[in-house]
Amino acid sequence: MMRILVSISMMLLCGAIRLAHALRLSVPLLYGVLAITVFRPWYLTHTALADGIFFVLLGLAALAWLYTLIRGVRGR
């Protein structure tokens, strides 16, 4: 039973990582994980800056989506 739960969890995690990569969210998610875990003292000291960096990364991902959408529409 435990083996099945671990297998399902690994499959879901793999699917979530592939989805994040397809949506170009790999860099913002990696930054978020590292900021909260590895660089926690820095994050707690500079919360506004860290959140600003995260939102800029999300904005760049949204710009990449728009660029892809515009390029796809012009290609037709």
Considering the domain boundaries, does residue 71 fall inside one?
yes
Considering the domain boundaries, does residue 5 fall inside one?
no
| CA pair distance 67, 76, nearest whole angstrom | 15
Find the domain containing 46 and state its range.
24-76
Q: What does the pLDDT look like over 44-76, one tens digit per residue?
A: 999 999 999 999 999 999 999 999 999 989 987
Q: What's the average model confidence in pLDDT over 7-28?
A: 92
Q: What does the pLDDT look like over 22-37, one tens digit per residue?
A: 889 999 999 999 999 9
The pLDDT of residue 76: 78
Task: Say how many CA atoms lie within 13 Å of 23 toward its Cβ.
Answer: 13
The pLDDT of residue 46: 96
Considering the domain boundaries, does residue 43 fall inside one?
yes
Considering the domain boundaries, does residue 16 fall inside one?
no
Q: What is the pTM of this model?
A: 0.79
Considering the domain boundaries, does residue 11 fall inside one?
no
Phi, psi for residue 25 in degrees, rounded to 5? -110, 10
Considering the domain boundaries, does residue 72 fall inside one?
yes
| Count of domains forming the chain | 1
Considering the domain boundaries, does residue 54 fall inside one?
yes
